[in-house]
């Protein structure tokens, strides 16, 4: 199973990369907005430069999202994004217009991540259009009393049934249990906020056991 980090923060990306468990990065416009200190002076060129910096840190897929609604505009923007670095994956919303753009990119050797996916039919369309990745948003579904993990299980089953190569990125992850259930479901990737990556390593019994070992090891210091 691969772990991506779901952030645009270079500090968080560097910290996760140091752990040696990082396979890629996902960003979206909201995550980019969080790291912008001076929005009035943040240009599209600055955005592209930021994506380039991320690509220098992590040698794996880096999703950069289009910010337009029409397929022609998504295609123009996505081509610019893909030109930043070979690892850039163009993230397109799973809309009718997004599907047209995904089809175009898949026919032209540009990798795509179909985002804002909330149903198995959307995931099926993403695979048929040739998306390299599909991102079901589990946390946002849980937020409206619908099981996000059930959607992941449905997508994995459907893709297995037909041999689709589209990789499932479990997105909108809120806690370690989402990660465990994603792994049990056979999802290819989970994209995690840095806070969740840290939570994966923590256990109170590890802390307690370590405290005792350190205490007992102290007898050797004399």
Query: Shortest approach of ligand E4P to residue 58 CB, angstroms?
Result: 15
Binding positions for ligand E4P, 65-124, rule CB under 6 A: 115
Q: Which is nearer to ligand E4P, 75 or 170 (CB)?
A: 170
Candidates 48, 86, 91, 128; catalytic one: 91
Q: Indicate whether 128 belongs to the interface with ligand E4P (CB under 6 A).
A: no
Among 7, 28, 71, 166, binds ligand E4P (CB under 6 A): 28
Phi-psi region of 163 (alpha: psi -120 to 50; beta: other; left: phi over 0): left
Cβ–Cβ under 8 Å, residues 22 and 194: no
How many residues contact ligand E4P, by CB under 6 A? 11
Query: Shortest approach of ligand E4P to residue 221 CB, angstroms?
Result: 46
Phi-psi region of 33 (alpha: psi -120 to 50; beta: other; left: phi over 0): alpha
With residue 180 as reference, give the H or E element that holds it. Answer: helix 176-185
Nearest 5°: the CA angle 185, 186, 189 is 110
Among 60, 139, 176, 186, binds ligand E4P (CB under 6 A): 139
Cβ–Cβ under 8 Å, residues 133 and 63: yes
Closest CA to 183 of 156, 165, 201, 203: 156
Q: Is 48 a catalytic residue?
A: no
Which residues sit at the interface with ligand E4P, rule CB under 6 A?
Answer: 6, 26, 28, 115, 135, 137, 139-140, 171-172, 191
| Catalytic residue set | 91
């Amino acid at each position: 199973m691969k772990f991506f980090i779901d952030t645009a923060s270079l500090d968080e990306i560097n910290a996760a990369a140091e752990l040696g468990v990082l396979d890629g990065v996902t960003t979206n416009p909201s995550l980019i907005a969080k790291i912008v200190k001076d929005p009035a002076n943040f240009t599209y060129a600055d955005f592209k430069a930021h994506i380039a910096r991320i690509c220098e840190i992590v040698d794996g897929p880096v999703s950069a999202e289009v910010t337009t609604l029409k397929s022609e505009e998504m295609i123009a923007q996505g081509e610019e994004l893909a030109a930043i670095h070979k690892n850039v994956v163009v993230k397109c919303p799973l809309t009718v217009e997004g599907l047209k753009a995904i089809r175009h990119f898949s026919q032209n050797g540009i990798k795509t991540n179909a985002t804002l996916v909330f149903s198995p039919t959307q995931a099926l369309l993403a695979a048929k259009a040739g998306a390299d990745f599909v991102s079901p948003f589990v946390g946002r579904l849980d937020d409206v009393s619908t099981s996000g993990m059930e959607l992941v299980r449905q997508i994995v089953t459907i893709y297995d049934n037909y041999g689709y190569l589209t990789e499932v990125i479990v997105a909108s992850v809120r806690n370690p249990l989402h990660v465990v259930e994603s792994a049990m479901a056979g999802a290819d990737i989970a994209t995690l906020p840095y806070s969740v990556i840290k939570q994966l390593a923590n256990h109170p019994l590890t802390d307690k056991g370590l405290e005792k070992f350190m205490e007992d090891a102290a007898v050797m210091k004399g």
